[in-house]
Every structure is written in structure tokens, then in C-alpha cells.
Amino acid sequence: MSHDEEQPSPALTDAEAAERIHARFPALATARVVRLGEGMDHQAFEVAGRHVFRFPRSDAAAGHLEWEARLTAWLAPRLPLPIPVYHFLAPSTSDLVVGFGGYEKLPGTPALLVEPGRLDLPDLGRRLGAFLGALHALDTAAADALGVPGDDDPELEAWSAAALEDLHLAVEHGHVEPHRATDWKRRLTERPPRGRDAPRLLHGDFAAEHVLVDVHGAPTGVIDWSDACVGDPARDFAGLLHWGGAPMLTSALETYGSVSPAVVSRARWFAACRAVADIAFGQTQRRPEYLVAGQRALTGLEEHLSFGD
């Protein structure tokens, strides 16, 4: 999830999405279109039971989709897990406010929808550590040539401001007790030191909702690359901390390789920002799975009273 200032456009109905897909891609003219879900930036629909089509909800998200399609085509053969490759792409036109795109549906269920107790989180951590190791080792110059942006908030001012807003909403709706909020406000205000680590190509929103798993809990793919950027690797590690706590991150580093204590410290801070964002998103969008995930992450992070530890 992102905190773009641009307000999202109204959600499309299944019929509206079907009309656009059928008109743009004649081979799918009779395909059944069923809503899969939506966030602040995109809506997703299943088409013919075989494809996933994503509709950006803003001009900014539409611009992201264009370079995301180039990026995933380049990444797919270079990564150890499947990722979406857009075989259908409808660019923005004068009579279509924003474009949209579709890819062959990857097998599996978003891990966010699977009870963590049913998953072998250390094993997942090792597999995802290898995935991040391969991703972070790729040439950032090549990513730049594909149109992948650099981190637009290296000083973390926007991250901190958004997290404080999300925390306020979480307290207002009773999801975080006021006495806990005092400590969280201090920690989210005190931004961690900027890292000296070399910028890496990031997924940018590496979290349980974007990792697909099979019935045995093994990862089958990584979706939604719209927040990819070149920046601080701690952002991707934060998703593992948020999802499975320190044990999952420790397992991931077994296959990723060593990182500095500063990266782990910054990952805790990003994970806390993600946790309150999940709670706010769950409240405003009526998505209880995000509320649960955000509250669980906050509880797991509370033992770290200082992100500088």
C-alpha cells in the first residue's frame, strides 16, 4: 500500500471492467470477468479464470503500470520465483483516462489470507531470503533504464508523517490503546539514520499479501511490483519482520547473506510504519485481515523499545 496524495478514482464495477477488456482485447470478448479485490492504487479482476487484469485508480498508478510491465518482463527470467508478466497491455489513450494490463494468473493464495500458524515461517523465510538476494543483486542501472524510479523519500519525512496519521486513526478507532500510542508516536517520529548501504532494486511492498503460497505453504510467486524502486534494502526486509517477526528475518538472512545492524534497525522502523498503515487500511477499507496483521506486527515489534538498538 502506498500513501499517494492523488485521490483514487471510483472503483469499476465488474460490468465496467468487462466492457473495457472485451473492447480492447477481442480474443477475450466473451470472457467472464470477476472482481478479485482492490487497494488504494489498483483494482484486480480475474478474466476467463486464467488471467488477472489490474486497473490503476489514478494517473500516477497508470504511469507505474507501464514501467512495471517492462520491469517484470526483464525480471522474470532472473528470479527464483514466478512473477507476473504482462501479456495484455492497454496504454492510456484520449478516450480512456488510464490504461490497464493483464497477466496469466499465478497459482497460490496470498499468504495474508493464510493463518500464520499454518505456515512454516522459517522455511518461507529462507526461500524468500534467496529471492530477495537475487533481486537485490541485480543491476540498478538496468532498472533505471527500464523506468524504475529512485526512492522519492530518502529522508523518510513522508513515511513518518503518514505513519503518524495512521497511528492517530488506529487510536481513534480503538485498535491501539492510548498508552501504547505514546511510545509508538515517539518511535515513528524519531526517524532512523539514513543508511550507507548501496541502493538496491526493491520490490518496495514486499509483504504477506504479495507472496502467493500453495496448499503446503510453499511460495509460488510474488505479485504487485507497482512500488518497485531503487532504494534502501531495509524496506523489503521490513515486510518479513512485519509478517513473521525476527525469526522469519533471521531465517531469510541465512540464504540472503549478512546485512549490517543498521539495516535491521531501519527494517524495524519500516515494519512499524507498515503495521499502522495496515491497521488504517483495514479500518477504512473494512478489511479485517489487514487489521489483524497490523496489530500482530505491532505486538511483535513492541519488544524493541528503541529502533536504534
Task: Tell me what pLDDT residue 278 has.
Answer: 97
Residue ranges of the chain with per-residue pLDDT less than 70:
1-7, 93-98, 304-309
Same domain? For 181 and 224 the reply is: yes
Domain boundary among 104, 125, 157: 104
Same domain? For 195 and 270 the reply is: yes
Same domain? For 150 and 130 the reply is: yes
φ, ψ (nearest 5 deg) of residue 49:
70, 0
Same domain? For 63 and 150 the reply is: no
CA distance 61 to 186: 32
Residue 90 lies in a domain: yes
Task: Tell me what pLDDT residue 307 has.
Answer: 46
**Count of structural domains, the chain:** 2
Domain boundary among 55, 78, 104: 104
Quote the pTM value: 0.91
Task: Tell me what pLDDT residue 212 has.
Answer: 98
Same domain? For 172 and 135 the reply is: yes
> In terms of residue numbers, what domain contains 116?
109-303
Nearest CA-CA partner of 129 in 222, 51, 57: 222
Residue 308 lies in a domain: no
Nearest CA-CA partner of 290 in 301, 282, 302, 298: 282
Same domain? For 41 and 145 the reply is: no
Same domain? For 63 and 191 the reply is: no
Residue 138 lies in a domain: yes
SS3 of the chain: CCCCCCCCCCCCCHHHHHHHHHHHCHHHCCCCEEEEEECCCEEEEEECCCEEEEEECCHHHHHHHHHHHHHHHHHHHHCCCCCCCEEEEECCECCECCCEEEEECCCCEEHHHCCHHHCCHHHHHHHHHHHHHHHHCCCHHHHHHCCCCECCCCCCHHHHHHHHHHHHHHHHCCCCCHHHHHHHHHHHHCCCCCCCCCCEEECCCCCHHHEEECCCCCEEEECCCCCCEEECCHHHHHHHHHHHHHHHHHHHHHHHCCCCHHHHHHHHHHHHHHHHHHHHHHHHHCCHHHHHHHHHHHHHHCCCCCCCC
Same domain? For 93 and 151 the reply is: no
Task: Tell me what pLDDT residue 309 has.
Answer: 46
Please name the residues in contact with 77: beta carbons below 8 A apart, sequence gap of 6 or more: none
Task: Tell me what pLDDT residue 71 has.
Answer: 97
Instruction: For residue 5, count other CB atoms closer than 10 A to its CB.
Output: 7
Residue 6 lies in a domain: no
Task: Tell me what pLDDT residue 59 has.
Answer: 81
Task: Tell me what pLDDT residue 272 has.
Answer: 97
Give the CATH number of the domain where residue 28 resides.
Answer: 3.30.200.20
CA distance 215 to 114: 10
Residue 243 lies in a domain: yes
Same domain? For 119 and 262 the reply is: yes
Nearest CA-CA partner of 99 in 66, 137, 136, 146: 66
Task: Tell me what pLDDT residue 38 has.
Answer: 84
* pLDDT tens column, 176-211: 999 899 999 999 999 998 878 899 999 999 999 999
Same domain? For 100 and 131 the reply is: no
Which residues face 51 on adjacent strands? 47, 104
Task: Tell me what pLDDT residue 74 has.
Answer: 98
Same domain? For 241 and 154 the reply is: yes
Give the CATH number of the domain where residue 280 resides.
Answer: 3.90.1200.10
CA distance 114 to 102: 25
Same domain? For 155 and 91 the reply is: no
Nearest CA-CA partner of 28 in 12, 11, 45: 45
